[in-house]
A and B are shown apart, each in its own frame.
Chain A
């Protein structure tokens, strides 16, 4: 369980160096997207059209922030539950080179397969620590689908956003390992 510092775009070399349990501080640009935005992106791909953002090497944070108070770049911004993006994530990884996802909760077999075969990483952020996480977000700008409100795609500039590697390219899963270690039944 090492501590690492990364700035997207993420390379395959950087992903090879990540193992479950690693604490990673992300800086630079990441994108937000959740249910509605993911559906639109995959619908565009299926229709053979271009996406409003270039996802090559990029990281999507599954978050629908609360509105920013005057003077703040963003409102509270903790992760939402990731399984709702499972239907879309493998397509974005395989076809558009998405390399990182930040969320909370379990992923399905298709996503884990995409992570190992097409090389990507699933990071966990602390669910509910939304006011704390917002401190790491320095700028936020809506770049697509403003009509979706909290579900719009935002470009964030983050500084040392703390996330933990949950699923790595080696097929390991921190949730499974963690529970196994502390189960007392």
Chain B
């Protein structure tokens, strides 16, 4: 049995919050550069150059790449042979988020839904926990901004809608979202499961590296087709027109009820942030 200390988790989560907001993933940076090569719109090219420069400034000066430092979304994979010592793991994560958002000069965005009063410390985190075999503890922090989360959607489709129905739903969602979610986008899609499972699959799909395809050939084919089709919409960088609308499409797939066909799309802005640590 492995033991992980409460304070170790606090410090790790704090660092992941800060690093996630300061340092854009290399895969996203490379996708910007590839987009810049392929983009035909002069304005689109200019926006992509701004995004590259922005990411460089954030990393060099250690400031958040986006002022919306997001909700502290945390994915936990806890090996069943791991023991957390010194306190409750969710408390450690909350403490880590509070510490990270304070120490890193990150914006606190959590508030009461009705009164809109800010909680003041970005707590509570939103924690998704999975118990897995073995004795490893993996923590992923994926700060998520409000602008792109607001453009996300779920559809409980009729099974007769089929794969064409999925394509139509996703493409129309990207078209309607237009400039709002800060394109170029990353699309995380959950197909199957049930209402809540499809949504969590969609969010989890956003943790994939850009270019990493589904192991299921038909699903990988759909990822490719959706990437091509959404990039024909003309939305472009910042929604000002162009060919670079979506940088990546990642689909997670799961069996569903015979009566159901749930599809969820979680839209991520170009500030696609996630950092992990494993103990």
Contacts and interface: CB of A to CB of B under 8 A. Distances in A.
A83 B41 contact: no
Interface stretch (B79-87, B102-110, B154-162, B248-256): B102-110
A106 B58 contact: no
Interface in B80-128: 105-109, 116, 118, 120
Given A104-B179, A174-B240, A175-B240, A183 B232 contact: yes
A148 B53 CA distance: 31
B60 to A, nearest CB: 9
Interface string A157-185: 00000001000000000110111111111
By CB atoms of chain B within 10 A, which of A66, A69, A104, A180 has the most? A66
Interface size range on B against A: 35 or more
A185 B168 CA distance: 13
Nearest to A105: B180
A75 B68 CA distance: 11
Interface in A57-92: 63-69, 72, 75-78, 80-81, 83
Contacts of B106: 66-67
A35 B229 CA distance: 34
A50 to B, nearest CB: 23
Contacts of A184: 232, 234, 243
A104 B150 CA distance: 14
Contacts of B68: 64, 78, 80, 130
A126 to B, nearest CB: 5
A149 B40 CA distance: 41
A63 to B, nearest CB: 7
Interface string B235-279: 110111111000000000000000000000000011100000000
B26 interface: no
B190 interface: no
A134 B239 contact: no
A51 interface: no
A106 B67 contact: no
A130 B64 contact: yes
Contacts of A77: 67
A106 B105 contact: no
Most buried by A among B182, B233, B238: B238
B219 interface: no
